[in-house]
C-alpha cells in the first residue's frame, strides 16, 4: 500500500498507517525511510518560485520534509486536518493553548493536568492577561456551571497526570461547544491507537511525543493536531511563535512510530498485569490504573478507550523518607527518571498534594509512579517485590 492509495480513499488500519505513512519512498530513490533534511536555506530558480507563497518549502524553520512527514503520519492516526511538530511536549501544549486564547480570555484546566502545563497556565498566561481556573477532573457535564463568557478553552488530560482520573470528554466537549469554547486534550498516555479525542469532541489533541511516539528515550518532541475548524489557527500560531523542531528529532520520532503498535500492545498488557499483581502485594494500599475493574472510572475507560498505556501509580502506607530511599535506591531494573514511554522501566515517588488546587489531595500514604518497560516480566516482578520488601521492613 502506498500513500497514493490512501489519498485516493483506500482505508487503512493504524498498523498500516504507522508502517507506510510519511515515507514517500518514490520521491527519494526508493529508500524505505524518509531522509533527514538538514538545512535552513531553500533555493528558488525563478522569481515566480520565490514569490509563490503557497509552495510547500520556503524556509527550513517550518518547511522541512522530514518534519512535515511526521506531521502527516500523526494527522492520519488522529484523524486530524493537520499537525504541527514542536521541540517538546510542553511546547506543543503551549502552542495549542495560545492558539485558542487571547488577552481577556480564560482557560479551564483539569486539576490533574501535567504540572508544567499548570505552571505555564498560571505563570505564563497571566503575563498576557489570560486567566486560568482548575476544575475537578471528574466534573463531566458539570463543567457547564464553570464556563463564563470569558472561557474560550477547556483543557482535558485523560487519564490525569500522576493520579489517573478518566475524564468524560464527550460531556465536557458538549458543554464547552455549547458556549463557544474550544477543547484541547492531552492524549500522550493512550496514543491515537487506544483513544481518539477528536472523534469524542476535542478540537485539538496534543502529545508529549517524547514518550510513546519516540519510544527510545533519545529525542524531545511534541505534536499538536487540530480538526478542520481549528487547524488554520493552530498552524498560524505555530509559525508566529517560531516553534521549530530539529529534523533529526523528527526522524527519530518517525523511526520510533514505525513500531508504536507492537510496543503499545506490549506496554499496555504488561502495565495492566503488573498493576493487578501489585494489588495483591503486602503493603500496597491502592493501585491507580484505569484498566483495572477496581478503578472508579473504569466504565468510562471501557467506553472511550480500547487499550491501556504503560503508566500507572500505586500508593503504599505512610513511611519515613528512609523507607522510600531504601525502596528506590536498591532497584535494579526500574530506574528513576521524570520521563516515561521508553523501553526501560521507571519508578519514582511523588506527592500529588503539592500541585492540587481545585480538588485537594488528602489521601494518606506514599505515591509512586510506575512505567512498565520491555524487560523480562518475571525479572520486573522480582525487582519490585524486593523493593516492596525493603520499604515494608524500613517502615515497620
Interatomic CA distance for residues 187 and 177, integer angstroms: 20
Residue 348: strand, helix, or coil:
strand
Interatomic CA distance for residues 141 and 135, integer angstroms: 12
In contact, 152 and 98? CB cutoff 8 Å: no
> Taken in order 54, 58, 59, 63, is the CA torsion positive or negative?
positive
Catalytic positions are: 61, 114, 186, 211
Indicate the helix (H) or strand (E) that contains 156: strand 151-157
Sequence-separated contacts (24+) of 6-9 with Cβ below 8 Å: 6/76
Burial class (CB in 10 A: 0-12, 13-18, 19+), 323: buried
Which DSSP string do the residues of 201-231 spell out, in sequence order?
A: T-SEEEE-TTTTTT-SS----EEEEE-TTTH
Burial class (CB in 10 A: 0-12, 13-18, 19+), 178: exposed
Place of cell 487571547: 102
Residue 266 CA to chain centroid, in angstroms? 18
Amino acid at each position: 500500500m502506498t500513500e497514493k492509495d490512501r489519498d485516493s480513499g483506500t482505508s487503512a488500519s493504524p498498523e498500516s498507517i504507522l508502517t507506510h505513512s510519511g515515507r514517500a519512498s518514490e520521491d527519494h530513490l526508493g529508500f524505505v525511510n524518509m531522509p533527514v533534511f538538514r538545512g535552513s536555506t531553500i533555493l528558488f530558480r525563478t522569481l515566480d518560485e520565490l514569490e509563490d507563497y503557497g509552495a510547500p518549502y520556503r524556509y527550513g524553520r517550518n518547511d522541512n520534509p522530514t518534519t512535515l512527514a511526521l506531521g502527516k503520519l500523526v494527522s492520519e492516526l488522529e484523524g486530524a486536518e493537520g499537525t504541527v511538530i514542536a521541540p517538546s511536549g510542553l511546547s506543543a501544549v503551549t502552542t495549542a493553548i495560545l492558539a485558542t486564547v487571547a488577552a481577556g480570555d480564560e482557560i479551564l484546566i483539569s486539576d490533574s493536568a501535567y504540572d508544567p502545563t499548570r505552571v505555564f497556565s498560571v505563570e505564563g498566561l497571566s503575563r498576557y492577561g489570560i486567566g486560568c481556573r482548575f476544575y475537578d477532573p471528574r466534573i463531566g457535564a458539570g463543567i457547564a456551571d464553570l464556563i463564563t463568557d470569558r472561557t474560550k478553552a477547556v483543557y482535558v488530560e485523560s487519564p490525569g497526570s500522576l493520579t489517573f482520573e478518566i475524564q468524560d470528554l464527550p460531556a465536557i466537549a458538549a458543554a464547552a461547544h455549547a458556549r463557544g469554547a474550544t477543547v484541547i486534550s492531552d492524549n500522550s498516555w493512550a496514543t491515537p491507537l487506544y483513544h481518539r479525542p477528536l472523534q469524542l469532541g476535542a478540537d485539538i489533541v496534543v502529545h508529549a511525543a517524547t514518550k510513546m511516539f519516540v519510544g527510545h528515550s533519545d529525542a524531545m518532541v511534541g505534536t499538536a493536531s487540530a480538526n478542520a475548524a481549528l487547524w488554520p489557527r493552530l498552524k498560524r500560531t505555530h509559525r508566529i511563535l517560531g516553534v521549530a523542531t530539529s529534523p533529526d528529532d523528527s526522524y527519530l520520532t518517525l523511526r520510533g512510530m514505525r513500531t508504536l503498535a507492537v510496543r503499545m500492545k506490549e506496554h499496555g498488557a504488561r502495565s495492566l498485569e503488573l498493576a493487578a499483581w501489585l494489588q495483591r502485594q503486602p503493603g500496597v494500599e491502592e493501585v491507580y490504573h484505569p484498566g483495572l475493574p477496581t478503578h472508579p472510572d473504569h466504565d468510562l475507560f471501557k467506553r472511550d478507550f480500547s487499550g491501556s498505556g504503560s503508566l500507572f501509580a500505586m500508593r503504599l502506607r505512610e513511611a519515613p523518607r528512609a523507607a522510600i530511599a531504601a525502596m528506590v535506591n536498591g532497584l535494579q531494573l526500574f530506574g528513576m527518571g521524570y520521563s516515561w514511554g521508553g523501553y526501560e522501566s521507571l519508578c519514582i515517588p511523588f506527592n500529588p498534594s503539592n500541585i492540587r488546587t481545585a480538588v485537594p489531595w488528602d489521601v494518606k500514604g506514599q505515591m509512586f509512579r510506575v512505567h512498565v518497560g520491555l524487560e523480562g516480566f518475571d525479572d520486573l516482578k522480582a525487582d519490585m517485590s524486593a523493593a516492596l520488601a525493603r520499604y515494608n521492613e524500613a517502615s515497620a
